[in-house]
Amino acid sequence: MDIAVDSYGETRATELALFKASIEETIEWLSLFGADASGGVTRLLYDASWQEAQSTLAQRMLQLGLEVTFDEVGNLHGILKGSHSHTGAIVTGSHIDTVVHGGKFDGTYGIAAGMIAIQHLWKQYGRPKRDLHIISFCEEEGSRFPLAYWGSGYITGRYSLAQVPEAHDLMGISLLEAMTAAGFGAGTNSPKLVPEGIHAFIELHIEQGAVLEQEKQAIGLVQGIVGQKRLTFEVGGIANHAGTTPMTMRSDALAGVAEMIQEVEHRAKAYGPPLVATVGSLEIKPNLTNVIAGHVTFTLDARHANSSELAVFCEALITGFDEIALKRNLALSYKEWMDAAAVMLDSGLTQQVEVICQRNKLPYRQMFSGAGHDAQLMQSICPSTMIFVPSRAGISHSSEEYTSSEELAVGILVLKDLLYELAYHEH
């Protein structure tokens, strides 16, 4: 881009104003589908709101002049063919499914931003060399079916349509039934549209954390996605009368768990970032005011960018739990039910985004994503990266989720520049 600094600055201001107006309009428009009374959005995979939103998105992509297709599971693809299609596509995308009472930005932002960026590039620079390809993935959240990343899992071969995973929603409806009822399934549409030869995948997303906001950074360069372990612990004491059992004669399961929760917090803080560890859920029996708790079940969610460091942390923590249980005469058992390895994203793409930030004088930082994203699956088939913009107070999965239009526009600018470099400039 041989634009003199002055005129470049001017161009950038014009672009940002344009992106700001466009993203405001697009986010508001999409938030109407599945709008709920809480001020948030509920769009669950294959439900009426999700279907309506995907269909309307498809129409808008058609209006933009893209080639539009659904694949067999319901991922929506919009393609702007390049002059050198055989050199591999540049793919961007995210998802429009939400959690129950979710926000307007999680996922949706990446789709809206991708459409705006591609529209702008086409208008500005004409047909690209490589294909520009946008995907609205199915069920990233796993909020209807316990099968997060179903759409990107299908595209990357983690899941296959020949063997649809057994998954049911809370009403007992199977994934297969719901998919069929929504008009998808084997033979209904094109098979997966992104086979070999993707050149790169880029996902633009809100941070869902407060790090960028607190450090006043405009852009997060996502080096990787943390590994996660999830465990459930059972602690057994003796349920007894709260009035007649002296303090020294108790086997109070809840008091023991309280000490374990303190231990989690203490060790996680001492270990330092990017480690996070959370006890978010407890089940207490009998859970009565006047009975000492006899049995408590609690969950642990622990994450770190390095899977082996995560394992070491969890092992030491469990040893600490064992000591607490022993000291308090409590029984302790546990089960690990999730162990997702950390995924490193493509460092070359991260460097490209860094250069774009520097050129645009945007404050940025490198960081890990503490949440999972479709990008971690896409990284298994092509170089992938993620770009984060700030989330106000780090709040996500809530109607309170918010990022200003100015911040959203800056993210689109960076995405647009990266797509330009990858699809128009390189060869």
**Interface with a second copy by CB under 8 A: which residues?**
207-211, 214, 226, 228, 230, 238-249, 252, 254-255, 257-259, 261-262, 264-265, 268-269, 273-282, 284, 286-293, 299, 301, 303, 369-372, 393-398
d(CA 355, CA 360): 9
Q: Which is nearer to a second copy, 51 or 369 (CB)?
A: 369
Q: Where are the alpha helices (DSSP H) in 182-327?
A: 211-215, 253-271, 307-327
Strands (E), 84-195: 89-95, 132-137
Nearest to 178 by CA among 136, 135, 137, 138: 138
Q: What is the spatial distance between Cα 127 and Cα 121, in angstroms, rounded to a whole number?
A: 8
The minimum distance between CB 47 and a second copy, in angstroms, equals: 21
Residues in the chain: 427
Pick 160 or 262: Cβ nearer a second copy = 262
One-letter amino acid at 363 equals: P
Determine which helix (DSSP H) or strand (DSSP E) holds 6, and give its type and residue range: helix 5-31
Q: Which is nearer to a second copy, 121 or 226 (CB)?
A: 226
The β-bridge partners of 137 are 95
Residue whose CB is less far from a second copy, 71 or 141: 141
Q: Which helix (H) or strand (E) holds 120?
A: helix 108-125
In the bound state with a second copy, the residue whose beta carbon lies nearer, of 152 and 189, is 152
Q: Report in angstroms how near the CB of residue 111 gets to a second copy at its nearest.
A: 20
Six token digits for residue 337: 């039910």
For a second copy, which is the closer residue by CB, 145 or 420? Answer: 145
Residues facing 95 on adjacent strands: 137
* SS3 assignment, position 228: strand
Using left for φ > 0, alpha for ψ between -120 and 50, and beta otherwise, residue 166 falls in beta
Q: Furthest-apart CA pair in the chain: how many Å?
A: 83
Burial-class residue 358 by CB neighbours within 10 Å (0-12, 13-18, 19+). Answer: exposed
Token pair listed for 91: 């793919």
Nearer residue to a second copy within complex by CB, 76 or 332: 332
Cβ contact 60:115 at 8 Å = yes
* Cβ at position 330, least distance to a second copy in Å: 13
- Tokens representing 86? 């055989």
- Least gap, CB of 251 to a second copy (angstroms): 10
The residue (of 76 and 325) whose beta carbon lies closer to a second copy is 325
